[in-house]
Amino acid sequence: MTLRIISSSDIGTITSSLPPSSLLPLMGQTFHAFSHAQTTTPPRLSITSSNHTTLFMPSRIDSLSTTSVKVVSVPLDGGDKRGLPASTILLDESSGGVRAVMNARNLTAIRTAAGSALSTRIVDLEDPRRVVAFGAGAQIRAHLVILLDLYPTLKEGGEVWIYNRSLGRRVDALVEEMRGRWPKTMFEAREIPQGWRESTKGEREEERELTDDDLVVLGADIIITATCSTMPLIPDYLASLLPPQQNSNHPVPKHTHIILIGSYKPTMHEIPSSLLTSPATSLLLVDSRNDVMKEAGEFIDARILPEELVEIGELVDGEGNILQGSRALEALRTRKEGGDEKEKDGGGRIVTVFKSVGIGAQDVAIAKIVYDRAVEMGLGVVVEDYDS
């Protein structure tokens, strides 16, 4: 039996050859399988040493006949800026032996971004022109790449605003790369304003003058958060305006889609919980209802009920196609057409939210497509007599 070892360099070559058109249906199939009990994902195991905590995450997708184990090490000192050291072991379906070992440092970000991009399609976000991103790591990079590939309105005169706690080499490198790939898009990086961190809860619109940064966020079609923040990145006063009354001096999009990636503990909050219960918020989309209820601080504090959450896998079929006739999407469509009282209460604006905590089945799916492409492209080091 042969073993294929796929390096980080090979992973980069393979993933750059995968168009979004292939990744979105793949994630749709994966979410569908998860929501319809066609996956097996045992609780992850962890081992802590003096330098790091290593996580072992096995998972299987029955419909893909594929099983994998992802191994991720989380350094206790914060690690380097390339992301967490990670590898995925892909098992042979017939023998149960190891078929491939691949570098997974960037695969987690890519599969997460593909799931997020699918959410923008599901909520039928039309012609987005401005993205506001919080964070500047691998997750934000992967999200920007796939969204700019998907939407012509972003890569042809669109805007991308990157907010980070501090500016420096990593942020500069990200902006430089993005400008090089999409010269017709405006990219700008800014520090998260100190005023947002110090804002007073309950301040009303008339009690403060909106800043340029406030208006950047209010004008966003897509907001992405990928941080470990324990305090909301968007201040409460701004969240209360996210859906503002239409203002001719500061036009805002009718629909804003918020993608939450970072929070994975009850103590973490990337947006104010009040935004989740706002009259403007029309759909709370999640990858895993149970995990979001246990892990996402914003949802826990907002006391969101399980039945208020819609799993993305409930809105796609087994091929990853969007189920247009689903009750949740019909309700969203009615609001967009102005036939819903809640839409009027929301000031004429619609907010949709996708919260991703990440599911192990996504790792299985991305590992399989990467392996298949590696074989097709002749990439990786093949050990012929690994298990002879």
Residues 194-252 pLDDT 10s: 888 766 454 454 456 788 999 899 999 999 999 988 899 988 887 777 655 544 455 56
- The helix/strand/coil state of 167 is coil
Residue 31 lies in a domain: yes
Q: What is the pLDDT along the chain (388 residues), one digit of tens a residue?
A: 899 999 999 999 999 999 887 899 999 999 999 999 999 999 889 999 988 889 999 999 999 999 999 999 888 775 555 567 899 999 999 999 999 999 998 999 999 999 999 999 999 998 999 999 999 999 999 999 999 999 999 999 999 999 999 999 999 999 999 999 999 999 999 999 988 876 645 445 445 678 899 989 999 999 999 998 889 998 888 777 765 554 445 556 788 999 999 888 889 899 999 899 988 888 999 999 999 999 999 999 999 999 999 999 999 999 999 998 788 888 888 887 775 555 455 456 789 999 999 999 999 999 999 999 999 999 999 999 888 7
The pLDDT value recorded for residue 5 is: 98
Residue 115 lies in a domain: no
375 and 306 belong to one structural domain: no
The pLDDT value recorded for residue 207 is: 56
The pLDDT value recorded for residue 324 is: 81
Residue 76 lies in a domain: yes
The pLDDT value recorded for residue 328 is: 86
Here the CATH number for the domain that contains residue 71 is 3.30.1780.10
Query: Is 237 in contact with 200 (CB distance < 8 Å)?
Result: yes
Helix (H) or strand (E) segment spanning residue 90: strand 86-91
When divided into structural domains, the chain yields a total of 2
169 and 215 belong to one structural domain: yes
Dihedrals phi, psi of 314, to nearest 5 degrees = -85, -10
What are the Cα distances from residue 199, in Å, to 17, 191, 194, 229? 44, 16, 9, 16
Residue 114 lies in a domain: no
Here the CATH number for the domain that contains residue 270 is 3.40.50.720
Residue 113 lies in a domain: no
The pLDDT value recorded for residue 388 is: 75
Residue 32 lies in a domain: yes
The pLDDT value recorded for residue 341 is: 53
54 and 195 belong to one structural domain: no
The pLDDT value recorded for residue 248 is: 40
Write out the residue range of the structural domain in which residue 275 sits. Answer: 122-355
Residue 168: closest CA among 189, 183, 143: 189
DSSP notation for 242-287: SSPPP-TTS---SEEEEEE-S--STT--SS-HHHHTSTTEEEEEES
Query: Is 98 in contact with 89 (CB distance < 8 Å)?
Result: yes
196 and 79 belong to one structural domain: no
38 and 11 belong to one structural domain: yes
31 and 77 belong to one structural domain: yes
9 and 138 belong to one structural domain: no
347 and 367 belong to one structural domain: no
Dihedrals phi, psi of 136, to nearest 5 degrees = -145, 25
155 and 208 belong to one structural domain: yes
pTM of the model: 0.90
130 and 238 belong to one structural domain: yes
The pLDDT value recorded for residue 130 is: 96
Measured CA to CA, the distance from residue 329 to residue 322 in angstroms comes to 10
Query: Is 359 in contact with 287 (CB distance < 8 Å)?
Result: yes
Residue 117 lies in a domain: no
72 and 187 belong to one structural domain: no
265 and 374 belong to one structural domain: no
